[in-house]
Amino acid sequence: MDDIQQQLQLRLKEHGLEVGELQLEQFEMYYKELVSWNEKMNLTGITDREQVYTKHFYDSVSLAFYTDMTKVNKLADIGSGAGFPGIPLKICFPHIQLTIIDSLNKRIGFLQHVVDTLGLEQVELIHGRAEELGRKEGYRDSYDLVTARAVAKLAVLNEFCLPFVRKSGMFAAMKGGDPREEMKEAEFSFNQLKGRVKAVHPFQLPVEESERHIILIQKFDKTPHKYPRKPGTPLKTPLV
């Protein structure tokens, strides 16, 4: 274990999360594959090892500081890109059944390679659109926790993500700067999609102190039949 790995371990421990040698090995393998594949396809603009550990790994796992992941059995990560936050959360909480949905097949290929290399089990990787999968049985109204990290504005994210959340489950939107304006703009979509803001957790990343916010939205009823609308519509005409 080197300094960067030890730093991650200690920072997580400060929040009551214990990660062992195997998990640290998995993070390191993930880092190596990310950088290697990034030469062939655009996965991330961040390749410096220390920055990846802070801005991707720690940032992804920060969701567990504000949500009891031991009570989450089914987690869906929508628009996961290079696997954030889904894969780091799965590394830390191996019991989770993880579903990752991404619209780019190349990224799903990368994630399949990561899952195989790290030996992760109970991970379903789907090339598809959230608007279509959110209508399918087995996905709709099915997940304890659904998350999306820096994908779109909240009014759009609500329509992408809330259809997957089971009644009384949670959607966690992972954001950068102050989300108050986005939340105000998203009020209509909360009502339409049966979501209620339960909490907003601001924090800062270690060292560089970038602002982060996690918005926890509880779903109080099943998704109305007309949502999500057809692919492309939520982005073109958000529910505002």
pLDDT in tens, 99-151: 999 999 999 999 999 999 999 999 999 999 999 999 999 999 999 999 999 77
- The answer on whether 84 is annotated among ligand-binding residues is yes
* 209 — pLDDT class (breaks 50, 70, 90): confident
Q: Go through 47-86 and write b for each residue having 16 or more CB atoms within 10 A of its CB, e for each that does not.
A: eeeeebbbbbbbbbbbbbeebebeebebbbbbbbbbbbbb
- The answer on whether 130 is annotated among ligand-binding residues is yes
Least confident segment among 83-87, 148-152, 219-223? 148-152
* 207 — pLDDT class (breaks 50, 70, 90): confident
* 174 — pLDDT class (breaks 50, 70, 90): very high
Domain ranges of the chain: 69-236
Question: Which CATH architecture fits 69-236?
Answer: 3-Layer(aba) Sandwich (3.40)
* 185 — pLDDT class (breaks 50, 70, 90): very high
Whether 61 contacts 12, CB under 8 Å: yes
* 1 — pLDDT class (breaks 50, 70, 90): confident
93: left (phi over 0), alpha (psi -120 to 50) or beta: beta
- The answer on whether 212 is annotated among ligand-binding residues is no
Q: State the chain's mean pLDDT as an integer.
A: 96
What does the pLDDT average to over 216-230?
A: 97
Question: Could you give phi then psi for residue 14, rounded to 5 degrees?
Answer: -60, -25
The pLDDT, as a whole number, for residue 13 is 97
> Is 223's pLDDT higher than 90?
yes
Strands (E), the chain: 74-78, 97-102, 123-127, 143-149, 165-175, 195-204, 211-219
Say which amino acid occupies 232.
G
As given in the structure block, the two tokens for residue 116 are 């195989």
Residue-wise pLDDT for 40-53, tens only, equals 999 999 999 999 99
Q: How many CB atoms lie within 10 A of CB 173?
A: 27
The pLDDT, as a whole number, for residue 16 is 96
* Nearest Cα to Cα of residue 17 among 80, 67, 77, 73: 67
